[in-house]
Structure 1
């Protein structure tokens, strides 16, 4: 069925250039060929219906036809052999450790700025740098990053590179578990012949990491009360919020469900007020507390920051994390790793041009049709130009944007993203993929085995974001022999 499949143009996750499957895909390929196209089509339809019936959705704000969509799913997994995964895991821990030390530094001693490693204006002019609100806060475990989502791609040589850091409210972990659940249910044949790292205990690890953030003045540090604070059902990642709260066994609350009294946070219940120790917030900094941030916010909790400052409640992820996952700061992360850890980065960045630099800006403006341009404050594939796929009008629009506000944009070469087979509409075709790896920060760092493989299901597209038509794949990390450690 894959005889006409093109694996020569780009690095392919599954197939060699000669059309044979890679060694870690051989068993999967053999089983796949036992099915007819009709069988696969029927199973694929069953998988999509399973997502629909379970209400596994996300919201698209720009879609005028309706906001709710199910995540498109493709059943051909991304399979990662154990030696590759070991390198990814080490690289992710290294990166998150350095980013956490950076956050602790810039909200306290600012030694990295004093030593001139990062231009001071990149921090002080950054809209996500909350100096007044976050400076001097006593963070439990000195850990600002409870959950990180690091986006990886593979280039034309198959080398992993970091595309983006997500340290504020990374979404998508629920899809990792649901992709595996649907895959096991609809395609059980594939699991009998593969030794795959299980996801079974990972939500317990997430809950344990969350509870390790019990604040200084918690009434019971061994059994703290945690809640997940959501903006509500109209948020794009609401399904993610519901799933994680349910699976961790914590209450899902909105701002109106919480109240601050005597600098302590309480949850309103039918049995009265219950003290809250930890808030896993899924709302942005600006909306957390109308007394400390945006006074017009109706999503947050008045007085929350003062309760935090006095050690009566913990907020994860930390306030002001956005300064570290800003796309302009991204280019300095390898330097942070060298500075704080005295180590060489295990996984490299994608080359990045700062458009505030006149020479770089002139180069980018002359070569817009070959580059990718991103707004440093945007995510989800919004306000982004992919030069080779853009119209002349789109290129000219971004030219004006860059000239008007160069500091707001960065540019990167158009990476030849790796591809993997997808099966849609009764045929196989190659699609570009990336991988969001989730790192859980508690008393130690743990990495979810696999992560969320996102796929650009629109043929030829480079955009994997679900809000822009992308879908998901199951991600398998193969065990090392009889190794049960994962």
Structure 2
């Protein structure tokens, strides 16, 4: 290894307990990364410090920020971005793509069934109380047929690579999965900071997402509409994902609106414009179910549109994703995903589930309470890494507190073995060198009435704190560009 290589990778520690995406078991750079490794090794640590600042400036100038809700200072922060991309070879990606598409289709069938015939419950495959006790199940959706028969138009499936080298699904996100704008902006920032690196690899584009999303939205237009008018609705500038809302609206060439910009008349939705009212046909909504319509859900909501749900029930507007999808990405339902896939598709799951204990089952609750130090405890309906307890990081007092919390409401918690997330070379500012950090992968799958699409490249999230297994930006995580290589 040269002096330059030594300086920039000097802090990299290889741990055999974890699957290393860069180095093989003998400590050699894997073939797919060799060219990239050599290119990066040609830079000194001082060079990389400057490049890192350049990337941060790029994100800042584009307004790529996020806000942590429990941050007392309530400041917007630049989304942390790592300059060393993750590479996924074509064969590996083919399995991922087929697997996430399979899960998305199965979940769509599942949601339709639950809001219609409930056959999967009647046949004893899924227990009734699993659905009836879900906070995200909506009685108002019973019998509603969304345009094109699609409920989860957009799915975000979170994957990890375990120490056995296999991918496992951590969870499915089909309410309002976020992060796709960072996938696209990561690519832009990397190209700006390290121009020419892409010439050495043949990677799929990620900038085609917005066009495919628009086509998916147009495919689920209400009956009788020839050229649908699509919009993105946002809670407003103070939402943590507002950058993404505005980015996607601009990239699709559609209006970004707030609830106050829309009104309902005779069960049709209209947008206020300087030229007068304009009918709206498809709404990509980034507002939670409870705030969509104060006449149907929370009466104190100032974010939604009065009468919107009535227009939706009449089939005069399509909501993307449909209200009431949240019960299907409940982490307790996740435990039944293999059965759901087999029941609706007649197929074996392509991607593995992580073994999961649901605390509402007495025998599993007993095991969890006796083995918290070996498990990860998760609330079934939280996002962003909130509420997670990693057993081997807890003190005896904290373990007792977690036990009491679970016993007070077992339905709200699941537990999983502590999985060994793979590690990847990540630039760490403090040491001005590359160190190994844990990563996961969020993929994005789109389903339409006559179209399906999986973005070839996802959001690789990085736990920037050494040893941390929680990769969410709200918990101090960052992200990497993800290259899916062409065959």
Indicate the TM-score class for this superposition, using the shorter chain for normalisation: over 0.9
Cα pair 2:459 2:479 within 8 Å, conserved: yes
Q: Give, in angstroms, the shift of residue 182 of structure 1.
A: 0.3
Please, which of 251, 263, 269 is the counterpart of residue 265 of structure 1? Answer: 269
Cα pair 2:10 2:433 within 8 Å, conserved: no
Deviates further, 153-162 or 192-201: 192-201
1:422 & 1:398 partners in 2: Cα distance?
32
Q: Give, in angstroms, the shift of residue 441 of structure 1.
A: 1.2
Q: Deviations over 1:45-81 (max 9, x none)?
A: 1111111121101111100123311111111111000
Q: Give, in angstroms, the shift of residue 138 of structure 1.
A: 2.1
Q: Give, in angstroms, the shift of residue 33 of structure 1.
A: 1.5
Q: Deviations over 1:156-180 (max 9, x none)?
A: 1110010010000000010000000
Please, which of 295, 300, 311 is the counterpart of residue 299 of structure 2? Answer: 295
Question: Secondary structure, in 3 states, of the residue corresponding to 2:278?
Answer: strand
Please, which of 80, 96, 117 is the counterpart of residue 88 of structure 1? Answer: 96
Please, which of 244, 250, 255 is the counterpart of residue 251 of structure 1? Answer: 255
Deviates further, 137-146 or 459-468: 137-146
1:358 & 1:230 partners in 2: Cα distance?
41
Are positions 1:41 and 2:45 aligned together? no
2:208 & 2:178 partners in 1: Cα distance?
19
1:140 & 1:230 partners in 2: Cα distance?
22
Are positions 1:151 and 2:158 aligned together? yes
1:400 & 1:155 partners in 2: Cα distance?
30
Question: Secondary structure, in 3 states, of the residue corresponding to 1:398?
Answer: helix
Aligned to 1:390: 394
Aligned to 1:483: none
1:160 & 1:453 partners in 2: Cα distance?
13
Please, which of 15, 24, 32 is the counterpart of residue 24 of structure 1? Answer: 32
Q: Give, in angstroms, the shift of residue 6 of structure 1.
A: 2.4
1:354-433 equivalent positions in 2, closer than 5 A:
354-425=358-429, 426-433=432-439
Q: Give, in angstroms, the shift of residue 393 of structure 1.
A: 3.1
Are positions 1:468 and 2:475 aligned together? yes
Cα pair 1:151 1:437 within 8 Å, conserved: yes
Aligned to 1:204: 211
Cα pair 1:61 1:67 within 8 Å, conserved: no
1:85-484 equivalent positions in 2, closer than 5 A:
85-131=93-139, 133-218=140-225, 220=226, 223-425=227-429, 426-442=432-448, 443-480=450-487
2:374 & 2:252 partners in 1: Cα distance?
45
Cα pair 1:31 1:189 within 8 Å, conserved: no
Aligned to 2:65: 57
Q: Give, in angstroms, the shift of residue 371 of structure 1.
A: 0.7
Cα pair 2:10 2:434 within 8 Å, conserved: no
Q: Deviations over 1:211-250 (max 9, x none)?
A: 11101243x2xx2001111111111111110100000111
1:244 & 1:418 partners in 2: Cα distance?
30
Deviates further, 38-47 or 198-207: 198-207
2:482 & 2:398 partners in 1: Cα distance?
35
1:65 & 1:274 partners in 2: Cα distance?
40
Cα pair 1:139 1:314 within 8 Å, conserved: yes
Q: Give, in angstroms, the shift of residue 3 of structure 1.
A: 5.5
Q: Deviations over 1:82-118 (max 9, x none)?
A: 0000010010111101000001110111111111100
Q: Deviations over 1:301-323 (max 9, x none)?
A: 11111111111111110110001
Gaps of 5+ in 2: none
Gaps of 5+ in 1: 481-486
Q: Deviations over 1:112-155 (max 9, x none)?
A: 11111000110111111102x11111211101111111000011
Are positions 1:15 and 2:19 aligned together? no
1:237 & 1:213 partners in 2: Cα distance?
25
Q: Give, in angstroms, the shift of residue 12 of structure 1.
A: 0.8
TM-score by length of 1: 0.96
Question: Secondary structure, in 3 states, of the residue corresponding to 2:159?
Answer: strand
